[in-house]
Chains A and B, each alone.
Chain A
């Protein structure tokens, strides 16, 4: 794609560019995204205070709402879609999500395991005396 003229090549869109509106970007996606994201945010803050949800389920519900909102941001603000011209962007994103998952889940797993195998703190204090 270094030639001076137009090339017919494997075409991708840049992240952020809406594929269906090439050259003619529109604000409708941003309006939809704003409405959906606001709704999810309000719901997140509401269930923290209210009695809408069964108390022990609230953290799980919050995480589900947050993941939904990140999806809304990706689709409506960053225009990362499942279309064929967005494949490179989606593949990079999938790899990023894998690494994020490994780092967070792996850290929590290892540290919980270490804490579990360690003596309770008061006994460590006794041994040091």
Chain B
């Protein structure tokens, strides 16, 4: 696909476009993997094996706070991205730290939800519905955990190496990754939690 707009690009800019595009392809393949988990969940959602079903298990208040954490972290991640483009280190560190705190809060809430479900004998081994639930939501949680590790790595790399071109490319990819996780969470809280508790 060729779309000529006649803009002159430098080598570093064309590298940035290639890196971002390649990572975008990876993210789409990751979203396709999530689609498989979503399909599995949708097929198995009524296979509760006589155990608890979605309306008995899910606490929408906690999900609302989790959603607020992740949406807020998406915004602060965008701020960090803008700050890195303008090479403003203080703003970058503050926004990344806020993203880290919000992401960690999200993970803590999700961990509390999982452990309370296991304590109520609704662990992943109880029914096909719960296996699919833990696989889907847990896979997203693992992605968020990896994202937090990556986030801390980027803060350390900016501290050690500054806003070099290659570091800025990594920040671009991290930014894409984090926003993609938020998009998956939108699908997740709608399909699993909100539609789950709707009678």
CB of A122 within 8 Å of the partner chain: no
Is there a chain A Cβ closer than 8 Å to B101's Cβ?
A: no
Q: How many A-B residue pairs have CB under 8 A?
A: 173
Q: Is B56 close to A, CB under 8 A?
A: no
Q: Return the CB mask of B10-23 against A: 1 if under 8 Å, else 0.
A: 11001011111101
B24 CB within 8 Å of chain A: yes
Does A55 count as interface, using CB distance less than 8 angstroms?
A: yes
Contact with B along A42-56 (1 / 0, CB 8 A): 001100110000010
A14 and B2 form a contact (CB under 8 A) = no
Please provide the chain B residues from 27 to 73 with a CB less than 8 Å away from any CB of chain A in the complex: 28-29, 31-32, 35-36, 38-40, 42-43, 60, 64, 67-68, 71
**How many B residues face the partner with a CB closer than 8 A?**
62
B146, CB-defined interface residue at 8 Å? no
Q: How far is the CA of A25 from the CA of B88 in the complex (A)?
A: 12
Render A9-32 as a binary contact track against B, CB cut-off 8 A, 1 for contact.
Answer: 111111111000011111101110
Closest Cβ neighbor of A108 among chain B residues = B42
A contact residues around B89 at 8 Å (CB):
none
Please tell me which stretch of B117-125, B155-163, B175-183 contacts chain A, meaning at least 4 of its Cβ atoms lie within 8 angstroms of it: B175-183
> Does the CB pair A1–B78 fall under 8 Å?
no
Chain B residues, CB < 8 A from A24: 85
The answer to whether B43 touches A111 (Cβ under 8 A) is: yes
Q: A8-B6, A14-B17 are in contact. Are A41 and B60 (CB under 8 A)?
A: no
